[in-house]
Structure 1
Amino acid sequence: MRAYYYDNVPGDQRLPHDYIPSKPVFTETLISLGVKYWTIPVEGHESKVDAVAQEQGYKNRDTINVSKEGLGAVYEEKIKGFFQEHMHEDEEIRYILGGSGFFDVRETPSDAWIRLAVEPGDLLVIPAGIYHRFTLDEANNIKALRLFKDEPKWIPHNRSSETDINTHRIDYLKSIGVTA
């Protein structure tokens, strides 16, 4: 996984949107935001992903293929929805099996976007309450294993004055040392 500050230049969301020269984001910054990641080679990944799942308390999983073929008629709608700035009341855990894409997370308190370029072998945990979004890159395809603490669910709460006071958002801010 490569992490860097998003350039905020208008244009296709699927482009890298990297500054020239790049402004990398270091592991310490991601840790301070509660973002976790591991690199686990796809070949033979099962036992290592199972170990992380057990250690983190993830009991359920499914696989998603985000592509025109995988999502069919709802593809365009889903891609637009994934790129809307939102938060979840649960962690978002993704292990990339194939393809590639971008997760953008909001740095707090600066409110800058940090782009996380993911590819096969990346296991990413985005904490509950952090504002983020997702998009494919120009290859238009990603296959990911989704891990869940409880029953599989993916409920986005688009950023608003209501999400700013959501208990999970407030708890997230406290966990990174920011008072709401």
Structure 2
Amino acid sequence: MAQIRIRNTNEIIAGEEKVREFLNQYEVIYEHWDTNKLPQELADNFSLSDDQKSAILNIFQSEIQELASRRGYRTWDVITLSEATPNIEELLAKFEQIHTHTEDEIRVIVAGAGTFIIKGTPDTGYFDVNLEPGDLISVPENTPHFFTLTDERKVIAVRLFVEENGWIAHPYEDHSFQKS
């Protein structure tokens, strides 16, 4: 289950309902998928082939179709990041820049873990949403945020897009942001 850390205060918010309640204040959608149906050989493989990525999409086809019909997504894929990913440092540097999108950014963690850092109100500041397998998050359009890996440095995630071109980031300058 996801857990939130508010950076200004180090307050931790845990438990599915408390996490959902906190994120709802920022119009961030939080849901949970059952990842137990993912075969272990896929869940433990952070260097997936295109066929294995397609297999993951097929496994979660009903969840993806339901979400696509509800939210208007037109395309989806699987991304995997780990030490085995070519140019991992360059990719993370790209992801770890505060940015916005003209559509929501939705990810479902199916294996491994990752963290979205999202800008809240001036009182709250930035908060980390630590995601584990099964956690689905949708960061609203035009909300400053970025994604990074946890210390384990491996994740498999399903990404869904409205725009056919996929992930398009718009840099967001924020001199008040401090890395933790």
- TM-score grouping bracket, smaller chain normalisation: 0.7 to 0.9
Q: Alpha-carbon deviations, 1:106-159, whole Å to 9, x = none?
A: 112336111111111111111110011111011111011110113142122221
Query: Match of 1:57?
Result: 72
Q: Give the Å deviation of 1:83.
A: 1.4
* Structure 1 residue 47 displacement after superposition: 1.3
Q: Is the 8 A contact 2:6 2:124 kept in 1?
A: no
* Aligned partner of residue 12 in structure 2, secondary structure: coil
| Aligned twin of 2:47 | none
Sequence identity (%) = 31
Alignment match, 1:35 = 28
1:28-177 superposed matches below 5 A:
28-42=21-35, 43=37, 45-70=60-85, 72=86, 74-110=87-123, 112-160=125-173
CA–CA separation in structure 1 for the residues paired with 2:149 and 2:96: 9
Match of 1:23 in 2: 12
- The Cα of 1:51 is off from its aligned counterpart by 0.9
Q: Which amino acid in the other structure matches residue 130 of structure 2?
A: A
Aligned residue for 1:169? none
Task: Output the aligned Cα RMSD.
Answer: 2.1
Q: Distance in 2 between matches of 1:29 and 1:37?
A: 10
Alpha carbons 2:105, 2:138 under 8 Å: kept? yes
Q: Gapped runs of 5+ residues in structure 1? A: 9-17, 162-180
State the match for 1:2 in structure 2: 2
Secondary structure, counterpart of 1:24 in structure 2? strand
**SS of equivalent residue, structure 1 residue 134:** strand
Question: 1:76 Cα deviation (Å)?
Answer: 0.5
Assess if the C-alpha contact under 8 Å between 2:32 and 2:135 holds in 1.
yes
Residues matched between the structures, number: 148
> Normalised by the size of structure 2, how large is the TM-score?
0.73
Residue equivalent to 1:174: none
The unaligned stretches of length 5 or more in structure 2 are 38-58, 175-180
Going from structure 1 to structure 2, the CA distance change for 1:45 and 1:153 (only over 3 Å counts) comes to: closer
Partner AA of 1:140 in structure 2: R
Checking the alignment, whether the CA contact within 8 Å between 2:115 and 2:129 is kept in structure 1 is yes
Distance 1:155 1:46 in 2: 24
